[in-house]
Structure 1
Amino acid sequence: MALKSGSWSDPSRPPTTGPRPGTHSLRYFYTAVSEPGPGLPEFSAVGSVDGQRIAHYDSATRRMEPRAEWLARSEDTQYWDRQTQVLQGVQPMYHANLQTARQRYNQSAGFHTLQLMYGCERRADGSIRGFRQFAYDGQDFLSLDEERETWVAADDGAQITKRNWDADRSIAQGYRAYLEGTCIEWLEKYLAYGQETLQSRERPRVQVSDRPIRDGLTTLSCRVHGFYPRSVAVVWLRKGVAVPQETIQWGVVPSGDGTYQTRATIDIDPSKETDYTCCVEHPSLPEDLRVPWVPKSCMMLIVGIVLGVLVLAAAVAGAGFSLRKKNGGYKAAAAHDGSASS
């Protein structure tokens, strides 16, 4: 038994629109589970453009439905009926594929997942690429080598599928043609539909904090949140020089309000160096945003200076008030400097 291939693709070919700046992507995600339950359907499919979810299907509703208002306005009932029919056909195929994968790994029971991610990307320089990747239980299983038109097995369990699909070269050729042709055309069409929403910009907000860990070391954390689109670059600078090898990236995740968030950390020895700055690059920013780390000792000094200035100002104000009172109050003081009216 071999894994069967299946994809969500429309046979019609939408008109190609003009080029747009920036990097854009169209991605589809399929998930099949061996033990479905409340809130976890046996099969689900999600489509997204530039990280924004646009459509959803699952085995409970058995219906492809829009998740982006701009797509719901732009496509008619026939479009959603076609997508629904395709996925209703794909659903049993992925159930069978999951059973096949369990046999490959000698697993007869338990919770298991089979996932597929496929789609295409057009970069700012106009180049394009496609991708089609399977995962089993969250680990790489099989992927398409688009250039060589062959399949790459991640482990021994995927070797049988690789051999079967490599034996029929038309499988890889067909997917490459779809990913580099139809997929890109649909991406352009979706970008035209959702231009106002997809090209909106939300500036990132940055918070820098520190936490002592061990042996005198400290972890600096740079939390970046509230930004859109998803594309962002965060790195720590030491004395103004980027140290990407020492920066730990924690991935970009949705915030739940249509924006994204991420975090970058670095472990330092504050007794040797304290000049660290978090640097953020994002399409909404005219130039990179830099937020320096201020050690607690420096912060206490700054707070002390500010408090000292406030106390001094209060003392000066109090002395002035006392002087005016001795000279007969506000009007007397004003008459003394020649500014009072008769």
Structure 2
Amino acid sequence: MRGLSGARWLLGAAALLLAGDPFTSSHAHHTLHYFFTGVSEPGQGLPHFTIVGYLDDQQFVRYDSDARRDLPRAPWIRKVEQEDPQYWDWQTQLSRSWELYFRVTLWSRFNHSQGLHVWQWMHGCELDTDGRKGGHSQFGYDGKDFLSLDKETLTWTAADSRAQVTKRRWEADRVWTEGRKNFLEGDCIKWLQKYLDYGKETLLRTEPPVVTVASKASYGGLERLTCQAYGFYPKEIEATWIKDGESLEAETYRGSVSPNSDGTYYTWLSIEINPEERDLYRCHVEHDGLSEALDVAWKAPASVGLLVGCILGAVTVLILLVTGVVFCIRK
């Protein structure tokens, strides 16, 4: 159904925003994003209205039209209650106002056909560790882009002809459009910094990647080298294949940066090579958890015979040690 495709659009867009572009830089940045979803016919596990908030890749708050209250989703966000005991009350009132906006404004001013339809709104801000800031506000309808804000010109970019009417209405309403820009450049950055302070033990930690290189035969006499980096945090990482000091970006196949169950990340990159030149290749990795960049080469695995020999040797030593202890006890 079209509504389900809308839900997939939201999840896909959320994944892209949370993942970012992990291979362009190892430079850390932090994000605060809110994802709003409104459906015309609640059901199939979807409430009529939902808001989910993420700091970096961690969900910290959720509101929906069933519970009708903002609820914490990360332990560290409870620290806000020490500074403002009324925080959850006024956040809940704000969320209820947005629910009313979706019900009254978005649904009533847009002609819909029968069936399930979905509105989505993504907005949030980014802050680099060097002080650079950014922000975006984007609406989607039934799984497709609808309108996105240009903060510099205070205009809305329409994705199709159906969005033109809303575009003109919002551009005429300067209070609405300027309000979105002011939030992205002001309150959003302020709360991002405050939330980061609450969750710094989790969100500002660094864990270095473990990097390994494996080899596998490929087609046409070629060989595929695969570099795996895992167990790292934060998710920003720079990894590339190099040969004689030259980056081989065009020849590299990449996997996405994906989460582990323990909150760290893993990724991989591979390249097809001439086996005779294997020793010239290095997997170059940079990450905030590393004191210096890694250049990892393929290493031949230990032979089975050598491994068996080592095991037998260890067993022999253990038997001799036990025999000696028993002999001493009897003596």
Q: 1:108 to 1:213 in 2, by over 3 A?
A: farther
> Which among 80, 84, 91 is matched to residue 83 of structure 1?
91
RMSD: 3.5
How far is 1:96 from its partner? 6.3
Q: Does 1:244 align with 2:249?
A: yes
Contact 2:80–2:198 at 8 Å: present in 1 too?
yes
What is the alpha-carbon distance in structure 2 between the residues aligned to residue 128 and residue 122 of structure 1?
5
What is the alpha-carbon distance in structure 1 between the residues aligned to residue 210 and residue 173 of structure 2?
51
What is the alpha-carbon distance in structure 2 between the residues aligned to residue 303 and residue 272 of structure 1?
20
| Equivalent residue number for residue 237 of structure 2 | 232
| Equivalent residue number for residue 303 of structure 2 | 303
Contact 2:77–2:199 at 8 Å: present in 1 too?
yes
> Which among 64, 72, 97 is matched to residue 66 of structure 1?
72
Q: 1:154 to 1:84 in 2, by over 3 A?
A: same
What is the alpha-carbon distance in structure 1 between the residues aligned to residue 41 and residue 198 of structure 2?
37
How far is 1:240 from its partner? 3.4
How far is 1:216 from its partner? 5.1
What is the alpha-carbon distance in structure 1 between the residues aligned to residue 216 and residue 107 of structure 2?
47
What is the alpha-carbon distance in structure 1 between the residues aligned to residue 39 and residue 213 of structure 2?
40
Q: Please, what TM-score do these two structures have when normalized by structure 1? A: 0.69
Q: 1:309 to 1:46 in 2, by over 3 A?
A: closer
How far is 1:218 from its partner? 5.3
| Equivalent residue number for residue 339 of structure 1 | none
What is the alpha-carbon distance in structure 2 between the residues aligned to residue 41 and residue 128 of structure 1?
33
- Corresponding letter in the other structure for 1:286: S
| Equivalent residue number for residue 137 of structure 2 | 132
Contact 1:74–1:193 at 8 Å: present in 2 too?
yes
Q: 1:168 to 1:38 in 2, by over 3 A?
A: closer
What is the alpha-carbon distance in structure 2 between the residues aligned to residue 148 and residue 272 of structure 1?
56
Q: Please, what TM-score do these two structures have when normalized by structure 2? A: 0.71
- Secondary structure of the residue aligned to 1:202 is coil
Q: Does 1:189 align with 2:189?
A: no
Contact 1:121–1:130 at 8 Å: present in 2 too?
yes
How far is 1:269 from its partner? 4.1
Cα deviation, 1:76-132, whole Å, max 9, x if unaligned, reads 44111111122223224335677579857xx6435x543222111222222222211
- Secondary structure of the residue aligned to 1:160 is helix
Equivalent runs, 1:135-284 vs 2, <5 Å: 135-209=140-214, 214=219, 219-261=224-266, 263-270=267-274, 273-274=277-278, 275-284=280-289
What is the alpha-carbon distance in structure 2 between the residues aligned to residue 114 and residue 310 of structure 1?
65
Unaligned runs of 5+ in 1: 1-20, 318-342
Equivalent runs, 1:13-24 vs 2, <5 Å: 23-24=29-30
Q: Percent identity?
A: 43
Q: 1:80 to 1:287 in 2, by over 3 A?
A: same
- Secondary structure of the residue aligned to 1:87 is helix
Contact 2:240–2:247 at 8 Å: present in 1 too?
yes
Q: 1:212 to 1:123 in 2, by over 3 A?
A: same
Ranked by relative contact order (alpha carbons within 8 Å, sequence separation 6 or more), the top structure is 2
* Structure (1 or 2) with the larger CA radius of gyration: 1
Contact 1:247–1:264 at 8 Å: present in 2 too?
no
Q: 1:216 to 1:194 in 2, by over 3 A?
A: same
Unaligned runs of 5+ in 2: 1-26, 317-331
Equivalent runs, 1:87-98 vs 2, <5 Å: 87-94=95-102
- Answer with 30-39 or 130-139: which moved more: 30-39
- Secondary structure of the residue aligned to 2:153 is coil
What is the alpha-carbon distance in structure 1 between the residues aligned to residue 254 and residue 102 of structure 2?
33
Contact 1:102–1:108 at 8 Å: present in 2 too?
no
Contact 2:31–2:192 at 8 Å: present in 1 too?
yes
What is the alpha-carbon distance in structure 2 between the residues aligned to residue 165 and residue 30 of structure 1?
18
> Which among 19, 23, 31 is matched to residue 25 of structure 1?
31
- Answer with 263-272 or 190-199: which moved more: 263-272
